[in-house]
Amino acid sequence: MKIALITENSQAAKNNVINEALTAVAEPLGHQVFNYGMYTAEDNASLTYIMNGLLAGILLNSKAADFVVTGCGTGMGSMLACNAMPGVFCGLVIDPTDAFLFGQINDGNAISMPYAKGFGWAAELNLQDVYRKLFEGERGLGYPKERAEIMRKNRGILKDLKAATCHDMLTVLKTVDQDLLKAAIAGDRFTDYFYANSQDEEISAYLQSLAA
C-alpha cells in the first residue's frame, strides 16, 4: 500500500517525528511511505489544513496514494477539508482505539490527527501504536464481528451518497481557486512522487498544465 504523509504549516516542525513513527511501523509491514511535506516550518511551499484536504483528494482519486495520513493542531480542520473531497473518507484519530475502530468499522482511506492538542511526552509512541492498529492487519472486518455485514453495507451506502453529492475530482480541480490548487501542489517532492505513482492521466495532465 502507498501511504502519503501530509503535514500543514502550524505543525511542520513535527514532520520528521511523524514521518519516522510512520515509516518505522509501515515499512516493515511492506507498505511504502511518501512524505509530501511540509518538511520544516521554513519551507517555501506552505500547506494550510485546507490544502491538506485538496492534496489528499488529488492523491487518492488519482491512486497516487492508497491511504493518507494528515492532521493539524486539533485534527479537526484537516479532517473537514479531506471529507469535502470526492472519494475521501477521513476519520479523526487521536489514539490507538480510534485507529482500530475506524479501520474495522469505517474502513476509510485517510486519517487526521491532532499534532498540537495532547501532543506531549511519548507522543511518538502513541503515533506508532496508532499506525500499527491501522496498518498491521486487514481492515473492514467489523467490530463487533457480528455487525460486520451491516457495517459493510453502510460503508457502501455512504460511498454512494458521497458520489451523489460531490463533483468528480477533475471537476473540482478545474473549478477550485487555481492559486489555492497551485499552492497545494507546490511541495518540493510533489512532482517526483505524484507523477511516478498517479494512475489517472486526466488529473496528471491537468496538474502538469498548471506548471506549463
How much is the average pLDDT of 84-100?
98
Percent of the chain clearing pLDDT 70 (strictly above): 100
Asked if pLDDT for residue 211 goes beyond 90, the answer is no
**70 contacts 78 by C-beta, under 8 angstroms:** yes
Give the residue ranges of DSSP H helices in the chain.
15-26, 49-61, 76-83, 96-101, 123-135, 148-165, 169-175, 178-184, 190-197, 201-211
Reported as a single tens digit per residue, the pLDDT across 128-182 is 999 999 999 899 999 999 999 999 999 999 999 999 999 999 999 999 999 999 9
| Residue-level pLDDT at 204 | 98
Reported as a single tens digit per residue, the pLDDT across 17-35 is 999 999 999 999 999 999 9
| Residue-level pLDDT at 107 | 97
